[in-house]
Amino acid sequence: MQTVLVFILVLGVLVFFHELGHFLFAKRAGILVREFAIGFGPKLFAKRYGETLYSIRILPLGGYVRMAGEDPEMVEIKTGTLVYITKNSKGLVDHIYINEPANTRQPLIVGRVIQMDMEKECNLVLEDEQGHETKYSLDPKAIIHYDQKNEVQIAPLDRQFASKTVGQKAMTIFAGPLFNIILTLILFTVLAFQVGVEDQLVVDHFVKDAPAAKAGMKEGDVITHINGEKVSAEKLRYLIQESKGEPIQVTVQRNGQTLNLEVKPKKEEDVYLIGAVFDQSKYVKEPNLFEAVADSFKRTYDWTTIILDGFVKLVTGDLSIKSLAGPVQMGDMTGKIAKKGVDPLIQWTALLSLNLAIFNLLPIPALDGSRLVFIGIEAIRGRPVHPNKEHLVHLVGFALLMMLMLVVTYNDIMKIFFT
């Protein structure tokens, strides 16, 4: 139970930041945000503040910001429908009831809908019992009450996502992954203050039969590059694993000299090692604010290259789909990491947030990256792709993602419970 609660908390933070990015930039662009939701499925909690319904839903595996006009608007009242309307102090229709309201202090006007324009002209034509037609102007924030539980605010064209400039739409979509990257930077900055920042990878000693020592590495050497690539401790470990036991070129600094050594990592159990142990006193130092922030950018860059390399290997077939971790395995790992302490959990949360950002930016239908591709096409051709065509692409993409999720979840269960 503790593992489940910790995972829900971590996932909730990641989703909240992601959707907060979409939400804030939508508001900045003047887009009507109908709902800010954490989770999917039936509502556990829902409260309306201003124009937006804020909800927590039963399945904590994501979230969404529902913006007016992002998909074709479904708000309508059919011609001939009997409605009850009220007007505000400016003489504009502010409430439209499909059923006669039980409690309202404002006088009701009753009539059948002859014509209604909620997007451009924002007006309503009603026919009364005597057959007289009257045109009313709608408040841009008028509410339609379908019943006591279901109500929706109208969205004039200038409040819809589709009406905004290419730049506004792009930033609204990009802001979700951007806020996950910002969260990653914040968490890595906190981690830097907690555990210190890397100074130099100074070799303190070697384990028995260390490949590094056999290759000529000595105590006091400072490792700077692997295969010509500047490395941190995390990148060093990653590149050693990626070598699969093949020789790697290790660049070290020794007494002011630069030396290149060929080291062949050896495999112990499921990991590859070069057998060098770093001097903790020289490896990390207590940072000031500038150093902590700089370290967070460095860690984010290193892990971004590692994550992107993993995605490339999946596409090329160098990594099997079985290597992917789904929600079950991530939940299991989150629980295990949480037991190790706060610092490992901070790092793990930062990495999950960065993974979420990068994954969402991939040009896969239904993800933010795909939406950015469509916005890019609009910028090039001067007009958007037909909404129905784009919606179909995202629908197919979502179905494929759900199929992938089922496969990955099955693999998770087999790994955790049956191997």
Query: What is the DSSP secondary-structure string of 149-189?
Result: S-EEE---GGGSGGGS-HHHHHHHHHHHHHHHHHHHHHHHH
Burial category of 66 from C-beta neighbours within 10 Å (exposed 0-12, middle 13-18, buried 19 and up): middle
Nearest to 234 by CA among 284, 193, 268, 194: 284
d(CA 321, CA 325): 9
Instruction: Name the DSSP letter for residue 72.
Output: -
Lookup: tokens for 416: 């955790």
DSSP label of 245: T
Active site residue 19: yes
Count the neighbouring beta carbons within 10 Å of the beta carbon of residue 284. 18
Nearest to 75 by CA among 1, 17, 150: 150
Cβ within 8 Å of residue 332, ≥6 positions away: 3, 412, 416
Cβ–Cβ < 8 Å for 309, 396: no
Please tell me whether residue 10 adopts helix, strand or coil conformation.
helix
CA 234, distance to chain mean position in Å, is 24
CB-CB contact of 202 with 283 (8 Å): yes
Residues 119 and 156: their CA atoms lie apart, in Å, by: 4
Collect all residues with Cβ–Cβ distance below 8 Å to 239 and sequence separation of at least 6.
226, 227, 229, 231, 248
Q: At what angle do helices 2-28 and 166-195 cross, to 10 degrees?
A: 140
124 exposed, middle or buried (CB, 10 Å; 0-12, 13-18, 19+)? buried
- From 19, 70, 198, 242, active-site residue: 19
* DSSP result, 336-383: HHHHH-HHHHHHHHHHHHHHHHHHHHS--TTSHHHHHHHHHHHHHHSS
So which residues are the catalytic ones? 19
